[in-house]
Each structure stands twice: as C-alpha cells, then as structure tokens.
Amino acid sequence: MTADASDSPADLDSLAREWRAALAAAGDEEAVEEWRRSVLGRSGALTGVLRGLSALPADQRRATGQAANALKRDLEADLEARQEELRAAALASQLAEGAVDVTLPGRRRRRGGLHPVTQTLQEILDAFTRMGFATVEGPEVELDDYNFTRLRIPEDHPARDMWDTFWLDEDVDGEQPLLLRTHTSPMQIRYLDAHEPPVRIAVPGRCYRYEATDATHEWMMTQVELLAVDEGVSLADLKGTLLEFARQLFGVERRVLLRHSYFPFVEPGVEVAVDCFACPGAETGCAVCRGSGWLEILGAGMVHPEVLAASGYDPGRYTGFAAGMGVERIAMLRHGIEDIRYFYSNDLRFLRQFQGV
C-alpha cells in the first residue's frame, strides 16, 4: 500500500501496521536501511504524506498532519529499537563464535632455558666452589701489562703469536696498550697485587681472539681461570684438584692424565686430559676421543716464581698452581657436540635440546 496526503488517519493506521511488519521482517542492517529510505527517507512514503498536507482541505489538514507526525515519531523509535536489536544479535553471534571453554586446560607458555655454555659454566663454578674456591671476575678490556707483560710475555716474545689479539685504538700516555683480553689469566696478576695469601679463586669470563672460525675455534670464547697460592702448594695438589673436578663434571670413575706442555706463566706446564667417558679404552674407533682413550680438557701448571715475585710474594715461601679451561670445549665433550659454532648460531632447534638438562 502506498501513501499520499489524502489518506485519513485510519488509512495511516493500516499503513503503519504494514510498515512495522516490514521493519520487523528486515533481517540485517542493509534491509533496515532500505526500509528507512522507503518510509522515512526524503522520498519515502510517510515523508510524501507530510509534504502533501498543504493540498488537503482545511478540515482534514489538521487531523491528518497530527496523525502523520505522531506516526513518524513512533516509526523513528521503532527503527532505533530494531537497529539496536540487530546490533545486539550481531554481538551475541560474535561472542558465540569466539567463545572460550574455560574448563579446558590452558596453553602453557614456552619457557626459556639457560644457554648450554651458561649451564656448563655454572656447573664448573659450582664444582670449584665446593672445593673452596671463590668466584671473582675481571675486565674484558684489558691492559697489555696484565694480559701479556706481567705474565712473562714481553712485547718481543714469540709466545705472543699464540694469541691473535684485538687491539684497541685508545691512547694511554702516548701508547695504545688496551686490548680485548685473550685469556682470563690477567686476573691472576690483578688479584695477587691486591690480596695476601692464601689465594683460592676461579675467574670466569669471555675472551677474544682474532682468528678464523671453524669447528673447534671461535673469535669469542668463555674461559674459567683457576688460581691457588699458599705455602706448600705442589703439583700433587693441582692433580688432585683437577681429578676431583673431572669426576664432578664427567663422572665419578674418571681418571686424569698430565703431560708436559709450555705456557709462559707456569713452570712446569701441563696439558690435562680425562679418560674417555664414551668408550672403554683406546683403539675402539670412538668418535669422541678418536681412539686415543683420552680427552684434553685444559692447560695448567705451577705459577712461575717470577710471576709471584712481581706481585710482591716471596717465591721461596709461597707456591701456587693455575689452570685455564674453555667452557665451550667442556660442553662439547660432555654433550657430543662436533662444531663450536652451534653455540652462537642462535638456532633454537639446537638450543632447545638443552632445556631441562
């Protein structure tokens, strides 16, 4: 049914019922908008009635106008209510689609873990702490004097070729003596200069060497330096300490082997190996020890008397031992890792294998 200004209030009531039915049948916002345009819009049916009131006889104009305006207000209220109903229905539908079953178990967040080198470092320090060694740290940017000269490696000494060094372009008193430390041994000198015996320290830290990387070498590594100085300290004390360390890290059945080696700041110097924990002995084709039956784990020796004397210690009264180990090397041996570069490649597939180890 269409509407015009000649419609009586009774006719408008009939139209109103049709329009309300059509509004109720509008099932979405687009249909409701179409209804609004057809009834209440500028070209809508009810708007046409209001525009044509001036053409009506005076006796009809007042009653028809009042009825049409009242109907317009009612339909606008009905329109707003219908729009609110559709919005509420849409929201309810979205909530139903995205509903969460609160009775289901939650999804656990993946927990991080310590890096395998950090895990191994903590175990090394724990082992030495149980043997009475205190943990101290030193600077990574070091002076030439502590890194080399005071360790019996003067500027023209060929032993400097053993350490490919990162030198820093910092001028100190007209020279450039600053470098990234190549080992943790400089802390030996710093600690001896500042403390009286007895000395029992373990020194962890990063070291840097300007060398090409391969399966067994990196430009950065983590080391632990061990130093003990007191009256009557002997090579037997060194061997006993390292035997206990090897048993704590590699198993209670381990044995250690000391064989002579050269380090400028110790005399005598030794390389320390532990018997292979992956095979029963030599010539077995073991991939870990390559059939030798022994695994080299660190370098060590008795502190050179000249090193003690330079720090004010009486070498006739005091002796000591020192040892230095690469943490990555020990971690590789313990976990059967063949390439040191895996540690710092940031490959989560590799690192996640050590969570909970």
Q: Is 16 helix (H, G, I), strand (E, B) or coil?
A: helix
- The residue from 209, 254, 304, 329 that is catalytic is 209
Mark whether 70 is an active-site residue. Answer: no
Mark whether 335 is an active-site residue. Answer: no
- The residue from 127, 223, 228, 273 that is catalytic is 223
Mark whether 83 is an active-site residue. Answer: no
Contact 188, 225 (CB under 8 A): yes
Mark whether 115 is an active-site residue. Answer: no
- The residue from 266, 274, 300, 303 that is catalytic is 266
Mark whether 294 is an active-site residue. Answer: no
Mark whether 183 is an active-site residue. Answer: yes
State residue 182 phi and psi, 5-degree precision.
Answer: -95, -15
- The residue from 36, 82, 181, 183 that is catalytic is 183
Q: Which candidate, 126, 111, 309, places its Cα nearest to that of 224?
A: 126
- The residue from 19, 35, 163, 294 that is catalytic is 163
Q: Is 55 helix (H, G, I), strand (E, B) or coil?
A: helix
Q: Which candidate, 4, 35, 20, 311, places its Cα nearest to that of 150?
A: 311
Segment holding 224, helix H or strand E? strand 220-231
Distance CA 155, CA 45 (A): 104
Distance CA 322, CA 201 (A): 10
- The residue from 49, 117, 322, 323 that is catalytic is 322
Residues designated catalytic: 163, 183, 209, 223, 266, 322
